[in-house]
Amino acid sequence: EDQVTQSPEALRLQEGESSSLNCSYTVSGLRGLFWYRQDPGKGPEFLFTLYSAGEEKEKERLKATLTKKESFLHITAPKPEDSATYLCAVLGAAGNKLTFGGGTRVLVKP
Amino acid sequence: EAQVTQNPRYLITVTGKKLTVTCSQNMNHEYMSWYRQDPGLGLRQIYYSMNVEVTDKGDVPEGYKVSRKEKRNFPLILESPSPNQTSLYFCASRQQGPSYNSPLHFGNGTRLTVT
């Protein structure tokens, strides 16, 4: 069974204080690892897909990386608008569902 | 605008009173799915549909039904809701594609309370 564990559960940062979120996973036949952002009262919003170890993707202050066992979401010089819950999910060999981690709640204080 | 639309956004009901949560997408996606999100348990898949008239159970299907009569619509039916179905529900869709790895697009959720 596919499993995803995210750490830490919560992260408080000062504006400009860079940090990393971890996503550890076990999956049979990785078709893709996905990062989403979720704001309170809204549905998850797609950020990145990573397909193979060594791959990196960037978007503004966010950078996602992938190894065979984990993914990192690096937040560089965060701003208060980066405050959200970040979700990691894997798509396994069957291709019929995303398995999500519990998320990391990020709060960036000005 | 490309979107997944769920209705209602908020719903309070009583045990045993049948209800339907509607979901519609305007992106011509083959694949649609329902998830529930609970504190400490994250997002868990209830049902999914690979295409019209094709549905299958996810991880937590008990107490739920779905139908896929048209490509754009995927309603979630609770025939006899119980308090343990109080949750935040999300509908999602994606292109099917040969690798199945297109990103899921989510609706804004339906917060259901069953008393």
pLDDT in tens, B2-23: 899 999 999 999 999 999 999 9
What is the residue type of B23?
A: C
Q: Is pLDDT at A58 greater than 80 in this prediction?
A: yes
Cβ of residue B52 closer than 8 Å to a chain A Cβ: no
Interchain CB distance below 8 Å, B106 and A43: yes
Which pair of tokens denotes residue B110?
Answer: 């339906």
Residues contacting B39, CB < 8 A, separation 6+: none
Range in B52-56, B65-69, B109-113 with the lowest mean pLDDT? B52-56
Report the Cα–Cα distance between both ends of chain B, in Å, rounded: 36
Bridge-based pairing state of the strands A104-109 and A10-14: parallel
Q: Which range among A53-57, B38-42, B93-97 has the greatest average pLDDT?
A: A53-57
Which chain B residue shows the shortest CA-CA distance from A51? Answer: B101
In this predicted structure, what is the pLDDT of residue B1? 83
Task: Give alpha helix (H) positions in chain A.
Answer: none
Interface test with A, best of B21, B34, B106, B110 (most A CBs within 10 A): B106
Report the distance separating Cα B47 and Cα A2, nearest Å.
Answer: 17
